[in-house]
Structure 1
């Protein structure tokens, strides 16, 4: 075998082995001295033949089956054969060879890849079938030594393609552009039902009998049964070829395949394959939390670990609703189930469980061991005073920072606390790399503070019933526009009261809220006096997160104001410290266009350590925030407490702690939000800061540093006086204490109903009791 230059091959599943034997015999008959390899995709020795690690192979057959598995293994087989042969020819299993074509295959030595044109002329528009060809090239691929990059690419794409779904591409579609290849327009090659109207079957080198079935010998292909362009009754030569081929192949018996079921006999369903495929690919994603690859079902444990993985909840929401991973995937894949059970983890859970236990099992989409079970009864809270804090406690975003700030004040107030970390609902969109608080533990108290916005409140309630069921729930919400839109109102149903970080946000939410809305006095921790590091010129800073929407934070407004303020001036510097730009590419590109290579402007796109951020503030002369609206404005407050003068839009919540004594308020006009900045509606309104006024303020800082330092000192004094931690601590003690008393009152048993007869007896006895007191 090693001395042969040529090898041909095909990949089949066991039920197509008879066709592969016909192909192999006909190829050898016309190519003496060539080798031929038939790879049975669901055979017993595939890993060794492909040089695959057995575990890799078992993962592949868990994801892919049938023709899908064949397509995944084809490039692997070609790649392996090219290690021993000069040319490897791939043929579809339904081909029968009628004449040699070694001359064409040999071209792969010089060209790397040789393919055959599926059509020599466009298909007629005559209403007959096929109306389009299955591919630009078809039936045949000859690969030489230079084909390895293409085979690697094909193998990767085939493995990543969603399993068992209609494909939107075929392997030839990967060829144009990146990979050199030779197209052969030989009318004897790649002959099949799609081009027999322009080819002569008697002159073919090989014919692909795709779709031909001996059970229906009157049809050339079952793929074109309604209006076939080529009819066997009109072509006796083609009919005899088909009859002879059918006799050699015999009746095709569709088989279930070696890997169609789990070791316990349960079918390996499309939903199981899809779940495993998705999980496998997630383990390879960059910039994501590491995820462990689940076990495949064909290991030594008889598939028990795989079944356990399918039968467990995929996340806290599913756990709370008693949902299994497989049942959730079945629901996701079925539009009819989504229509009948729109909330299968919530109010529709009993009905969906009933469907799974009856119809789901009967239809074979759910084995009994994967049927959802009723959720466990949430743990009862203790009566002791304390608070459960639930939220994005490890996430690097504004809501997470606000939650951690309030937690520090709860600790300072001496209030017992249990922390519940929610990460799943924001996984992949926000970095959650901070350490979990030491107070993480069972949510044992009767009051819960849900530090997520309205649109995530239901998710938290469903995910953490132990922290919400039977508790007094407080929502810590922020909102940045004057109106709280109707689509955000769903959260009202899940809270007993709402806290916001500003009067601005309180007014917006309270206008629509059926529950009390209160403004929590947000503390601004004192980092201590900041010693300004001397540096050349004047340095400006703006810190923001692209996930908070570039449209609202308006960094390009800062850049434009800076460039208007200092045309041609070299003694100024602007730093824009941003995060999550990689998830907001359009906004980043808009900002880079605004910067336009200006060497005076530095864009820092990464998370900084606390020490790095402190150093950035210490190396700054003024903070600039030309926001369109803020729910609190924590970075403005943090700049002020560090003694920095601030240039900020004179609108929304920042006006509650920032004014002319602390810096330079920037006038504005109101404008519509416009499209493209969710969660804000396009017809919402926010501020458009006056960039000329902002530029004038920047020049004032640069030209009068003494005045800037004076306003920075005033900013620090003001924020420390108005946002002291002691004020927040006292407020938390009072409000959480009242919430606890309200919760206790709810738990108090109702007095027994009074009997009408007993009430009448008491009325009759009252005069007697009074006479007895007088007498005594």
Structure 2
């Protein structure tokens, strides 16, 4: 009897352009469930924020990210959750369904179980090569929710809101995930959720039929989703054909309304790429707002949506502005960059849209991009500015990651200090954006930051980032003599790095080891610089009762090359059960290298004598760490130079290090304990190093013996540390490096001056006028045979 059971309502969600199918569903549901309500929510209607309790700005952000069926997906769980405030059970149906018989008995079950779903298949799909080959979802077309379904609806609403507009999974994907967590009641009624995916296994009249993909304009096809080899053909099933044609007539007899939120106020379509950009920015902002960032980044400001009082001007401006300093330097708009990133074909044709292919990519955006409706005229990349010519004065532009806390950034700063000590005028060109998502750029910018001025540029990045630096800061390269400061840690410089040769006029490296590797392939000169190791002053040692070993490394330099687990294993072999020793591993960027971090933690094995310090340290903290260290241990497989080894030595700390590659050029047995090695393959897990490359495998037993020697004879360790400091100060002084830098930069400047185009000589206007006046006289003389 009406009123004796739970209060039940049906519902569906559509956008205005699909309103006709929803009206057919609503009428058929009410006809077979006279005691129920039914709600059709127009997803793009004015009443949505008030109906669902959404802040209008929140709703407008949603309709900026999502459109059509995607928007309906986002709002479905919100509607069901809202209707549960008025009803005991809410039945959610696919809008393209038509009800042919009541199913209240199934819906009532939701009042007790909380969540009821219908199985899309009762048996596996036949493996017969026909369509569909898989069902849209495990549960499809029907969901009944009682009060107990609220946790599931909250989960579904959160997940749907964050899903990408480019999603490929089926419409009802999230209810599929309910079974493992929320324990729905799965009904296997053959009359429920009948559609093209299961008609082959269902007999008898359906309680409701989902006409997903049926188009009244092509009534000979059951669904456009299966147009090649459909398992169910209307021509073979007259009863089904009659149902489809009848449904089509009812749909055509009702009216759709125009879909809203599809365009700017001026009619420019809001494309999928625009929605994706907005969605990604919103998702990042939400993530950073609720999740601590390991690099201390804060949530970026959410851009304005296009449906405010300004008619979308601010949103359009956001799309048309550069997304980064790199794009600002090259004129690339946020939307054009996103279109390029989303299109594999564009990436193949224009691999460098910010550099060598900039003009051609701009032309594509202005023509084909505009014709395809994906790059409006106002989002076409700007014409790149004309390069600023360098001044003829002596000096150098130093470009690189000058504020980044990573090895290549520190090598750049060491080189800058030597240039400054040489008295060479310098401009610092800081690049941060391309690394801001992976490493911290928290060091103070140099005082001499500015636009490139001089005719010589020193690019302090490796070969594979040279093009990026030149694209980001084009005046660094335009018309300049370019020097690349490169390092490489294997004996062979791989072919994939050779593109950088075309971008520089000469190459500097920090070691003869790296010079040999690169020079074997280089068409330009390769020179080894004398790296000047700054003197922090007379070391203050603070030896305690415990012998402390230290290793400092960056996981971004690859755990395989730095080999921290080798250090841990050598420590364990050296000191089983011994309590008067300690090992500190100071690491950065572990959050970007989880497998390597987990491998290291497993190696440590909870040993309380080993501390893994995974954070950046202040200068004071680092000084205190060095002061309490008795020996520095680097069991690397290869180093282009080995700056941390040199920095330990200049602080009077003895070193235990692999006797291979760059470190072997300034470190020997008089300064510590060189560790012998054998050569081994790199293997596939440590890019950018080629798997077939070779590097060292240090002898861990020898390393363990060296550690014991330090712990058992700390006086000898201190003596070798003092010898290490004296050696570095004598051979790697800043003065030596400064003299070399001045000499080489002077030569580079003279080469640049000799090779730059010379301006055409300017004639005085009086001379030019006199010559013009004499032309008739000369012509007359030639006619008379008179020569001059």
| Alignment TM-score > 0.5, same fold | yes
Q: Which 5+ residue runs of structure 1 have no aligned equivalent?
A: 753-776
- Aligned counterpart in structure 2 of residue 308 of structure 1, from 298, 304, 317: 317
Judging changes above 3 Å, is the alpha-carbon distance between structure 1 residues 48 and 681 closer, same or farther for their aligned structure 2 residues?
same
Q: Is the 8 A contact 1:82 1:144 kept in 2?
A: yes
How far the C-alpha of 1:307 sits from its partner, in A, is 1.8
Q: Deviations over 1:99-146 (max 9, x none)?
A: 333332232233222101112222334444333322111111112233
Decide whether the 8 Å contact of 2:366 with 2:380 is kept in 1. Answer: yes
Q: Is it true that 1:394 corresponds to 2:403 in the alignment?
A: yes
In 2: Cα distance, 1:427 partner to 1:599 partner: 34
Distance 1:26 1:410, change over 3 A: same
Q: Deviations over 1:689-716 (max 9, x none)?
A: 1111111111111111111111111111
Question: Secondary structure of the residue that 2:131 maps to in structure 1?
Answer: coil
Aligned partner of 1:59 among 48, 58, 61: 61
**8 A Cα contact 1:4 1:35, kept in partner:** no
**Distance in structure 1 (CA, Å) of the matches to 2:12 and 2:331:** 46
Report what 1:249 is aligned to.
Answer: 251
Higher mean C-alpha deviation, range 577-586 or range 318-327: 318-327
Cα distance in 1 for residues equivalent to 2:689 and 2:235: 66
Which residue matches 1:163? 165
Contact 2:136–2:170, Cα closer than 8 Å, also in 1: no
Q: 1:656 matched to which residue of 2?
A: 665
1:661 aligns to what SS in structure 2? coil
Preserved CA contact (<8 Å) 1:673 1:681: yes
The equivalences for 1:726-737 within 5 A come to 726-737=735-746
Match of 1:217 in 2: 219
| 1:608 counterpart = 2:582 | no
Task: Give the secondary-structure state (helix, strand or coil) at the position aligned to 1:636.
Answer: helix
Q: Residues of 2 paired with 1:521 and 1:475: CA distance?
A: 15
Change (3 A) 1:693 1:194: same
1: distance between equivalents of 2:257 and 2:719? 84
Aligned equivalents of 1:273, 1:633: Cα separation in 2: 47
Indicate which of 267, 270, 290 corresponds to 1:268.
270
Q: Does the alignment pair 1:183 with 2:186?
A: yes
1:137-156 equivalences in 2 (<5 Å): 137-156=139-158
- What SS is found at the alignment partner of 2:749? helix
Change (3 A) 1:484 1:168: farther
Summarize the Cα distance change of 1:123–1:685 in structure 2 as closer, same or farther, 3 Å threshold: closer
Distance in 1 (alpha carbons) for counterparts of 2:93 and 2:17 = 17
Deviations 1:661-690 (A, max 9, x none): 111111111222121111111111111111
Structure-2 separation of matches of 1:669 and 1:123:
57
Counterpart of 2:12 in structure 1 is 10
Question: How big is the shift at 1:555?
Answer: 0.8
Measured on the aligned residues, the alpha-carbon RMSD in Å equals: 2.5
Between the aligned partners of 1:143 and 1:732, the Cα distance in structure 2 is: 75
1:711-730 to 2 correspondences below 5 Å: 711-730=720-739
CA contact 1:65–1:164 (8 Å) conserved in 2 = no
Q: What are the residue-to-residue correspondences of 1:77-92 with 2, within 5 Å?
A: 77-92=79-94
1:457–1:494 contact (8 Å) kept in structure 2: yes
Which of residues 116, 119, 124 is equivalent to 1:117? 119
Match of 2:336 among 318, 327, 332: 327
- Give the corresponding residue for 1:762: none
Q: 1:317 and 1:534, CA in 2 relative to 1: closer, same or farther beyond 3 A?
A: closer
The verdict on how the C-alpha distance between 1:616 and 1:148 changes in structure 2, with shifts beyond 3 A counting, is farther
Shift of 1:479: 1.3
Structure 1 stretch displaced more, 563-572 or 423-432: 423-432
Segments ≥4 residues shifted beyond 6 Å: 251-256
The Cα shift of 1:367 comes to 1.5
> Contact 2:64–2:278 (CA<8 Å) still a contact in 1?
yes
Q: Which residue matches 2:772?
A: none
User: What per-residue deviation string (whole Å, max 9, x for no partner) do you get for residues 1-49 of structure 1?
Assistant: x998333211101111122122222223333343322111111222222
User: Who is 1:760 aligned against?
Assistant: none
- The 5 A counterparts of 1:469-488 are 469-488=478-497
**What is the aligned partner in structure 1 of residue 785 from structure 2?**
none
The question of whether the paired residues in 2 share the 8 Å contact of 1:68 and 1:164 is answered with no
Offset, 1:285: 4.1
Q: Tell me how far apart the structure 2 counterparts of residues 128 and 742 of structure 1 sit (CA, whole Å).
A: 71
Match of 1:194 among 169, 172, 197: 197
Q: Aligned equivalents of 1:234 and 1:473: distance in 2?
A: 74
> Is the Cα contact below 8 Å between 1:213 and 1:252 reproduced in 2?
no
Partners in 1 of 2:395 and 2:494 — Cα distance?
Answer: 33
Q: 2:423 aligns with which of 403, 414, 417?
A: 414
DSSP-derived class of the 1:544 partner: strand
User: Where does 1:607-756 land on structure 2 (aligned, <5 Å)?
Assistant: 607-747=616-756, 749=758
Tell me the distance in 2 between the aligned counterparts of 1:518 and 1:227. Answer: 67
The CA deviation at 1:588 is: 1.4
- 8 Å contact kept, 1:385–1:737: yes
Deviates more, 1:549-558 or 1:75-84: 75-84
Aligned residues: 751
CA contact (8 A) 1:701 1:708 kept: yes
What SS does structure 1 have at the residue aligned with 2:399? Answer: strand
Q: What is the distance in 2 between the residues matched to 1:361 and 1:104?
A: 52
- 1:705-740 CA distance string (max 9 Å, x none): 111111111111221222222222222222223322
Contact 1:319 / 1:375 at 8 angstroms: preserved in 2?
Answer: no
Q: Which residue number in structure 1 is paired with residue 393 of structure 2?
A: 384
Give the Cα separation in 2 of the matches to 1:254 and 1:381. Answer: 64
Please say if residues 120 and 138 of structure 2, whose CA atoms lie closer than 8 Å, have aligned partners that are also in contact. Answer: yes
TM, length-normalised to structure 2: 0.90
Alignment TM-score, normalising by the size of structure 1: 0.92
Distance 1:520 1:256, change over 3 A: farther
- Of 360-369 and 192-201, more deviation after overlay is shown by 192-201
| Offset, 1:239 | 3.9
SS of the equivalent of 1:688 reads: strand
Shift of 1:242: 3.0
Once the two structures are overlaid, the 10-residue window that deviates more, 460-469 or 21-30, is: 21-30
Instruction: Say if 2:332 and 2:354, in contact at 8 Å, map to a contact too.
Output: yes
CA distance, structure 1, for counterparts of residue 513 and residue 129 of structure 2: 65
